[in-house]
Amino acid sequence: MSEPDDPIAAALAHIGDPAGQGGLAEAGRVAMTRLKDGVATIVIDATGFSAEQRALVERQVRAAMVAVPGVGDTRVAMTAEKLERTIVAVGSGKGGVGKSTVAANLSVALARLGKKVGLVDADIYGPSQPRIMGQSGRPELIDERIVPVPAHGVRMLSLGQLIEPGTAVAWRGPMTASALSSLMEGDWGDCELLIVDMPPGTGDVQMTLTQKWKPAGAVIVSTPQDLSLIDATRAIDMFRKMDVKVIGLIENMAGYQCPHCGEVSDPFGSGGAEAAARTMGIPFLGRIPLRLSIRKASDEGRPPAAGEGEEADIFRALAVKLLERLREGAMHAAHP
Ligand code: ADP
């Protein structure tokens, strides 16, 4: 490889692309260089870089510029092509229906299908993702952005990582809004799908979240009981009013299978959500049984979707349906 004439380009030629095989310049990541009045300005296309990779490249560029004659000061700017990131809200009419369990397992199942997935735990009333995903480490702050922590192939940020456990949460509006912003605007890197575990219900926080970050679609979780379904209908109405496509309804805790005799009973009924979905004209995505093993796995930080067997299969099937519906939506958007 011949050395470029431009001394700045020559100095940059030796820096590798942390997200690829070759050099930064070869990868076309050096978007602009300029030397004026002793100040070198270098613009790097940092699309897909993690915060660590950005920091590394910046250090390397600065170090390289020290040796270039005529350069007194160096400015490094990182730009990123705006990645098309699809936000999917997981909502419910009320708490306790398994919305967080579903959000976690859907995220893991989507990641196992090859998607780059981020999981945002925005449930201010009871942020439970650190427990469900078995990841309670504090996220790092780099360049004033929170860096999601990896768990079961997914990157995750939770309000529960920002506050002491148990102090949740009678937060006042502005505090909640700014905490949610730092989660949503965390360093999600190349995540293509962001699954947001919404607070249950249809209050101000839910409306603000929806308005500000405009999900591509919403998944609603309900148990089969009438009351839960009436609440779910409210959540569906809220998303529809805010022009968010309802991707579909998931029935959770349907039919209890006795771990001893295998008999299936329906303490809360079953099939109610499917009928309700039909009445409301929204797709029914599937049904998750009520099982002690699902609760136990969640308590132990091992989402069933990360394992093998029937439960993992149920979540994989839900994830496949979700992706199909998102693709259909994207096609409708492209050809109105
Ligand atoms: P939400 O987010 O709607 O408040 P969670 O996901 O926190 O609900 O679930 C509430 C409780 O129900 C948790 O203890 C969870 O482990 C349990 N749970 C959720 N789904 C199931 C299921 N299909 N079978 C058994 N327990 C479940």
pLDDT by residue (tens digit) across 89-120? 999 999 999 999 999 999 999 999 999 999 99
Residue 1 burial by Cβ neighbours in a 10 Å radius (0-12, 13-18, 19+): exposed
C-alpha to C-alpha distance for 16 and 47, rounded to whole angstroms: 15
Confidence bin at 170 (pLDDT 50/70/90): low
What are the distances in angstroms from CA 89 to CA 27, 125, 159, 197, 236?
35, 16, 16, 6, 11
Q: What is residue 110's three-state secondary structure?
A: helix
Q: Indicate whether 331 pLDDT > 80.
A: no
Question: Is residue 198 within 8 Å of 123, Cβ to Cβ?
Answer: yes
Which residues, in sequence order, are CB contacts of 145 under 8 Å at separation 6+?
51, 182, 185, 186, 187
> What pLDDT is attached to residue 47?
83
C-alpha to C-alpha distance for 301 and 134, rounded to whole angstroms: 4
Ligand 1 pocket: which of 92, 101, 293, 294 to mutate (most atoms <8 Å of CB)? 101
Question: Is residue 288 within 8 Å of 314, Cβ to Cβ?
Answer: yes
Confidence bin at 81 (pLDDT 50/70/90): low
Please tell me the residue having the least CA distance from ligand 1 atom 17.
Answer: 295
Domains of the chain (ranges plus CATH)? 7-79 (3.30.300.130), 86-334 (3.40.50.300)
**Residue type at position 89:** A
Q: Indicate whether 12 pLDDT > 50.
A: yes
- Kind plus residue range of the DSSP H or E element containing 200: none
pLDDT by residue (tens digit) across 260-309? 877 777 766 667 888 889 988 999 999 999 999 999 999 999 999 999 99
Q: Indicate whether 166 pLDDT > 90.
A: no
Question: Is residue 83 within 8 Å of 47, Cβ to Cβ?
Answer: yes
Q: Indicate whether 131 pLDDT > 70.
A: yes
Q: Where do we find the tokens 């000061």?
A: 73
Q: How far is the CA of 253 from the centre of ligand 1 (A)?
A: 8
> What pLDDT is attached to residue 336?
43
DSSP structure class, residue 171: -
Closest ligand 1 atom, residue 92 Cα: 3
Please tell me the residue having the least CA distance from ligand 1 atom 19.
Answer: 98
Q: Is 40 in the pocket of ligand 1 (CB under 6 A)?
A: no
> What pLDDT is attached to residue 190?
86
Token couple for 173: 């509006």
Average pLDDT, the chain: 88
Short-list 168, 128, 121, 113, CA closest to 146: 121
Q: Is 132 in the pocket of ligand 1 (CB under 6 A)?
A: no
Closest ligand 1 atom, residue 101 Cα: 6
In the chain, where do the E strands start and end? 30-36, 39-45, 73-79, 86-92, 117-121, 140-142, 145-147, 149-151, 154-158, 193-197, 217-222, 246-257, 264-265, 284-290
C-alpha to C-alpha distance for 93 and 119, rounded to whole angstroms: 20
Short-list 168, 173, 166, 187, CA closest to 120: 187
Please tell me the residue having the least CA distance from ligand 1 atom 26.
Answer: 295
> What pLDDT is attached to residue 1?
47
Question: Is residue 47 within 8 Å of 57, Cβ to Cβ?
Answer: no
> What pLDDT is attached to residue 15?
95
Geometric angle at alpha carbon 310, from 308 and 314, rounded to 5°: 105
C-alpha to C-alpha distance for 258 and 216, rounded to whole angstroms: 38
> What pLDDT is attached to residue 164?
67
C-alpha to C-alpha distance for 163 and 130, rounded to whole angstroms: 12
Chain centre to alpha carbon of residue 28: 28
Who has greater pLDDT, 165 or 270? 270
Short-list 180, 149, 163, 125, CA closest to 51: 149
